[in-house]
Structure 1
Amino acid sequence: MSGLTEAKLKSPAGTRSFERGLDYVDDVSGLEIGDGWIRASVRGTERYEAELLLGGRKGPTGTCDCPYGQEGNFCKHLVALGLTAIAQGADLPARRASARDRARGFESWLSGLTRDELLALLRDEMAGDRQLRRRLEARAAAARGDLAEVRSRVRELFDITPFAQYDYVEYGDSRAFAGQAGQAVSAIRSLTASHRAADAVALAREAIDLLAGVIERVDDSDGWLGQIGTDLAEAHHEACRAARPDPEELAYWLVAHAVADASDPTDLDPLDYTDLLGDRGMAALRRYAVEAWQANRTGWAEKKLMQRLAKSGRDIDTVIAVRAADLAPNGHTHLLIARELDTAGRPAEALDWAERGIRDTDDLATVDTALVDDLADRYARTGRLADAATLRRDHFAACRTLPAYQRLRTAAQAANRWPAEREAALDLLRAAADPTLVDILLDDKDTEAAWQAATATGAHDGQGLTLADHSRPTRPADALTVYLRLAARLTHQTGNHAYEQLVSLLLSIRDCHRHLGTPDDFTTYVTALRTAQKRKRNLMRLMDEHGL
């Protein structure tokens, strides 16, 4: 305890949480000290209970029921608790001894109470603590085996009415509602512990449905109800393990739950029950899953369940059948099937599905490019270089983009047919007066042809700038025309980004005049520009920095 320091708190908390914890030191109350632990309440958005654990080899750890602490983080409330303990360091040994004395005194007092006195005490506490009363009533009903009473209590616990305004539980009340709903999990587990596991199974299923029915009407930003869903799934699994329900009945419920329309707050996985289902139950699970999928082949939940079952049993044909029932028009599903077949060691069938994806696509311009890449790679790996080039040519003709052209070039060069393919591609672009022609000729490093294309079909500013940059040494007059046009537009703009672009253009303009042997013309131009733009102080500063 005496070894606790600010540095040891900062290490697990991090700088941000540590600094924020400094602001909460005055909000710590009810400090309790034990052997290796310190507890207290810390007032934040709400009042949180924090416990700091000391003596570990890696330094202090702790728990806090704030949202950040619930995620396993060393939060600002733990920092505030630790700083409070450090500030009271001289008093800690005495306070710890006092805490031990209090604990022993409490145990001694409690042990000395008669049965009637204990009952009276418990009744008094329940009268002032509604949550305690509900928990104990549910446990009592479970112990008596009164399923009707437990069911009634569980339904009450999932009633949002006391917490809702306009039939919705706002963020500020969601934690309190989750705390109430969490008592249902305790009641279900109490049934299992009381040798009423079959009843616990039934009640867990009802509770899961109740949670699904209210979760959309609760602001669960902090995930409290998500945790209740996880706990309910675990309680159901525990009850099934104890009750050993009929495998076919269990399989039917698992499939019905998995494909239900309602959002699943439990994320319950039917395959977690494999050991309880056994061979007969797993066969039933697959049968019911197939029936559900056949009834709704495009349903997301049905497809997901079928794929999970098929992959778990390595049934590749079922996986393919599920995917094939809902083929995407752009060929993406065909690609997924081909990859599944590759994994299964069936390359010929994979190739067939990839080719089918291209054939089934109405417009190659909309096809999934990844499918085109995949099929072209398959052709190349098997020596079908001409087929790869033809595929790339057809795809380029449909979409006419620079990336498609680059891939065509690579494939056609490998097939020794690039010159002919290139001319055909360029003719296609010229006939369509497609501005992409300029980008493609620049990519081919055919600058002269790019200038001709820009003159014939026009070029946007980005293309013009790229052309000018590529040909400034060889065509300085043409480049200068482009730079001056772009600079003139920028002189009407303000802002540092525009100034940086203008200065970059001015440097290029100066270089053009150098190549043309007309430096005096540049001096005249830049002097006039300075006069016109002198109010733009940041521009003037940038021009000074670059010697303009």
Structure 2
Amino acid sequence: MARKVVGFGEGDLRALAGTRSFERGLGYLDAVSGLEVGEGSVTAVVHGTDVYEVELTLDGDEGVSGWCDCPHGQEGNFCKHCVAVGLTVLRRAKTIPHQRATARARGSGLEAWLSALSRDELQGLLREHIAEDRELRRRLELRAAAARSDLGTVRDRIIALIDPRPFARYGYIEYADASGYARQVAEAASALRALTADGQAVQAVGLAEESIRVLGEAYGEIDDSDGVVGEAAAAVAEAHLEACGVARPDSARLAEWLVGTVLDDSNDVTDLDPLDYADSLGPSGLARMRQLAVEALRRRPSGWAERYLTERLIKAEGDVDALVALHAQDLDPFGATHLLIAEELESAGRGDEALAWAERGLWECAAERYIDGRLVDYVCVRYVKTGRAADAVAVRRDRFRLERSLAAYRQLRSAARAVDCWEVERAAALATLEEDARCEHGCRYGGPVLIDALLDDGDVDAAWGEASFRADDRQRERLADLSRETRPAEALGVYLRLVERSKEPTGDRAYEHLAQLLLGARDCHRALGTEEVFGVYLAGLRTELKRRRKLMSILDRHSL
């Protein structure tokens, strides 16, 4: 019955909000107040962390939609407050038709009453509300000034709307006041667009630029956690773009303003994209903007904003040589910039130059143990595509000799197999890793890379030969896992030693690891035909660690 009356049910609310928000909304039923039913909507107030205004739009058979000024609701979500209001409506479903009829009657009565008023009476009523509502007064003053082309008053009204001081009670705008300030900024944006529409685009350009400056100076002192001021400021920027499209201001002056605004460290409120103004700037304005960006980068070579702007402008013009020159001024020591240049050249159809830059990167970074792997991949892929697979092997060999890592070993193996020379390359690579193992007795992150390489090749017997006096626990466990059936006695010895070391650590992960070690040990005993011995060992271990209930539970789950 409720669905027929109000056009939705609890299932619709759950579907809109999701289970989590729906369940939370149940806890706010007693926090709903001021429920007001209109002809096609319902409004209410919900008292939560703050006091939130909620509006549900009822569309008959098409369902329900909701809006709330809480942070979650302002992101476009059907929040828990909307759920609470929706559930309240469902609880009062029987009264909804009467309330809607009453709302229609009120609306019709108001319309009839206003229509019957004389001009003097309407003006008196409006003056009464203007005296009581400051925001209404300012909006109407702005409209009146625009209608009579009183640009001085229009400017004063817009700047008053942008002025943050009335909201900055303690020298900054708190979170609770940000939405109120954002509404005023949005109103200023609307006024700027109205100016443009009324043939005052030139004035709108100047006022928008002044507004953006004020917003930029104030934004650092605003708690805009929900981004509402930023959204309103974006509307001001859009109004400026729109006005420029109509007014066609001097392209050089516009270019100077855009570059100055984008590079202004204090202006974080608007995310202006100068290329959006390409039509207004024209070729001469774009050229002037690029000149200014290059000069700014020359003054501050380390400036991220200067470099980013210059790069975007050069890309927009399609000047690949200028882009290469820009990147070449600050080459990364690990080859990332060389790769970037190579990719730009290749995109421009200049493949030979692209490969030359990538090769230069390998040469200039040759002494670095760590180099951008994408650059090495780039060179090797292109060598293979052009029939130079042997050169790709040489590159992989050089990188392996410098890095001495398992990853470099794998890459060398892949390249060498492609030209059927892995046997020779493998012998040399293993000799290098053998030398490392003798000198270091391990590596920075554990046992020797030699053992990992042998395991990766599937040479388990050779890995056992090295592991007897060089491997770390990780490598020994890996060997044991691979040898439960072929070398059960040796694997069992590894598992039992690791179990003893794993008794002390606690926590789910440690207990799960201990269980896996025991499972490995059990498999070894089965292969040896000594399962009874394992049973006695396991019983003793459970007795020793019986106070660790979580461990006992995990062992039970694994049937241990």
Q: Which amino acid aligns with 1:32?
A: V
Sort the Cα spacing of 1:51 and 1:487 in 2 relative to 1 into closer, same or farther, 3 A. closer
Report 1:105-254 matches (<5 A). Answer: 105-164=109-168, 166-254=170-258
Structure 1 residue 532, shift from structure 2 partner: 2.6
Which whole-Å CA distance do the structure 1 matches of 2:314 and 2:360 have between them? 23
How far does the alpha carbon of each residue in 1:406-445 deviate from its partner, in whole angstroms, 9 at most, with x for none?
Answer: 0011112223322222222222222222411111111112
Of all paired residues, the percent bearing the same amino acid is: 50
**1:47 aligned residue:** 52
Which whole-Å CA distance do the structure 1 matches of 2:307 and 2:435 have between them? 47
Q: Is the CA contact 2:488–2:527 (under 8 Å) kept in the aligned structure 1? A: yes
User: Please, which of 459, 473, 481 is the counterpart of residue 469 of structure 1?
Assistant: 481
TM-score with structure 1 setting the length: 0.89
Q: Is the CA contact 2:6–2:96 (under 8 Å) kept in the aligned structure 1? A: no
Q: Is the CA contact 1:143–1:190 (under 8 Å) kept in the aligned structure 2? A: no
Which whole-Å CA distance do the structure 2 matches of 1:165 and 1:307 have between them? 42
**1:438 aligned residue:** 451
Which whole-Å CA distance do the structure 2 matches of 1:276 and 1:209 have between them? 20
Q: Does structure 1 residue 5 correspond to structure 2 residue 8?
A: yes
**1:272 aligned residue:** 276
Q: Is the CA contact 1:24–1:42 (under 8 Å) kept in the aligned structure 2? A: no
Q: Is the CA contact 2:6–2:58 (under 8 Å) kept in the aligned structure 1? A: no
Aligned partner of residue 55 in structure 2, secondary structure: strand
Q: Does structure 1 residue 505 correspond to structure 2 residue 508?
A: no
Aligned partner of residue 494 in structure 2, secondary structure: helix
45-54 or 460-469, which deviates more: 45-54
Structure 1 residue 347, shift from structure 2 partner: 1.2
Which whole-Å CA distance do the structure 2 matches of 1:2 and 1:360 have between them? 76
Q: Does structure 1 residue 99 correspond to structure 2 residue 100?
A: no
Report 1:355-374 matches (<5 A). Answer: 355-361=359-365, 363-374=367-378
**1:454 aligned residue:** 467
Q: Does structure 1 residue 486 correspond to structure 2 residue 498?
A: yes
Which whole-Å CA distance do the structure 1 matches of 2:61 and 2:144 have between them? 40
Which whole-Å CA distance do the structure 2 matches of 1:404 and 1:4 have between them? 65
Q: Is the CA contact 2:335–2:371 (under 8 Å) kept in the aligned structure 1? A: yes
Structure 1 residue 115, shift from structure 2 partner: 4.5
Which whole-Å CA distance do the structure 1 matches of 2:427 and 2:107 have between them? 92
Q: Is the CA contact 2:314–2:323 (under 8 Å) kept in the aligned structure 1? A: yes
Which whole-Å CA distance do the structure 2 matches of 1:104 and 1:204 have between them? 41
Which whole-Å CA distance do the structure 2 matches of 1:4 and 1:356 have between them? 69
Sort the Cα spacing of 1:431 and 1:99 in 2 relative to 1 into closer, same or farther, 3 A. same
**2:76 aligned residue:** 72
Which whole-Å CA distance do the structure 1 matches of 2:366 and 2:266 have between them? 36
Structure 1 residue 358, shift from structure 2 partner: 1.2
Which whole-Å CA distance do the structure 2 matches of 1:12 and 1:468 have between them? 53
TM-score with structure 2 setting the length: 0.87
Report 1:285-296 matches (<5 A). Answer: 285-296=289-300
Structure 1 residue 143, shift from structure 2 partner: 4.0
Q: Is the CA contact 1:298–1:325 (under 8 Å) kept in the aligned structure 2? A: no
**1:338 aligned residue:** 342
How far does the alpha carbon of each residue in 1:208-234 deviate from its partner, in whole angstroms, 9 at most, with x for none?
Answer: 111111112111111111111211011
Which whole-Å CA distance do the structure 1 matches of 2:558 and 2:288 have between them? 79
Aligned positions, number: 544
**2:445 aligned residue:** none
373-382 or 319-328, which deviates more: 319-328
Aligned partner of residue 285 in structure 2, secondary structure: helix
Sort the Cα spacing of 1:534 and 1:260 in 2 relative to 1 into closer, same or farther, 3 A. closer
Sort the Cα spacing of 1:473 and 1:172 in 2 relative to 1 into closer, same or farther, 3 A. same
Report 1:315-334 matches (<5 A). Answer: 315-334=319-338
Q: Which amino acid aligns with 1:238?
A: E
Aligned partner of residue 529 in structure 1, secondary structure: helix
Sort the Cα spacing of 1:263 and 1:401 in 2 relative to 1 into closer, same or farther, 3 A. farther
Sort the Cα spacing of 1:268 and 1:515 in 2 relative to 1 into closer, same or farther, 3 A. same
Q: Which amino acid aligns with 1:33?
A: G
Structure 1 residue 520, shift from structure 2 partner: 5.2
Structure 1 residue 275, shift from structure 2 partner: 2.7
529-538 or 473-482, which deviates more: 529-538
Structure 1 residue 4, shift from structure 2 partner: 0.7
Q: Is the CA contact 1:50–1:77 (under 8 Å) kept in the aligned structure 2? A: no
Structure 1 residue 55, shift from structure 2 partner: 4.1
Q: Which amino acid aligns with 1:371?
A: L
User: Please, which of 361, 380, 386 is the counterpart of residue 376 of structure 1?
Assistant: 380
Aligned partner of residue 50 in structure 1, secondary structure: strand
Q: Which amino acid aligns with 2:417?
A: Q
Structure 1 residue 68, shift from structure 2 partner: 3.1
Q: Which amino acid aligns with 1:410?
A: S
294-303 or 202-211, which deviates more: 294-303
Q: Is the CA contact 1:503–1:543 (under 8 Å) kept in the aligned structure 2? A: yes
Which whole-Å CA distance do the structure 1 matches of 2:103 and 2:155 have between them? 41
Q: Is the CA contact 2:56–2:86 (under 8 Å) kept in the aligned structure 1? A: no
391-400 or 83-92, which deviates more: 83-92
How far does the alpha carbon of each residue in 1:374-426 deviate from its partner, in whole angstroms, 9 at most, with x for none?
Answer: 11111111111121111111111222111111001111222332222222222
Q: Which amino acid aligns with 1:482?
A: V
How far does the alpha carbon of each residue in 1:80-111 deviate from its partner, in whole angstroms, 9 at most, with x for none?
Answer: 44444444444444433332332233233334
User: Please, which of 347, 352, 360 is the counterpart of residue 348 of structure 1?
Assistant: 352
Q: Which amino acid aligns with 1:2?
A: V
Structure 1 residue 338, shift from structure 2 partner: 1.5
Sort the Cα spacing of 1:421 and 1:165 in 2 relative to 1 into closer, same or farther, 3 A. farther
179-188 or 406-415, which deviates more: 179-188
Which whole-Å CA distance do the structure 2 matches of 1:29 and 1:93 have between them? 18
Aligned partner of residue 195 in structure 1, secondary structure: coil
Sort the Cα spacing of 1:229 and 1:396 in 2 relative to 1 into closer, same or farther, 3 A. same
How far does the alpha carbon of each residue in 1:36-81 deviate from its partner, in whole angstroms, 9 at most, with x for none?
Answer: x213132242231414040475x33344444333333333444444
**2:18 aligned residue:** 14
Aligned partner of residue 222 in structure 1, secondary structure: coil
279-288 or 252-261, which deviates more: 279-288
Structure 1 residue 521, shift from structure 2 partner: 4.3
Q: Which amino acid aligns with 2:496?
A: L
Q: Is the CA contact 1:28–1:84 (under 8 Å) kept in the aligned structure 2? A: no
RMSD over aligned CA atoms reads 2.9
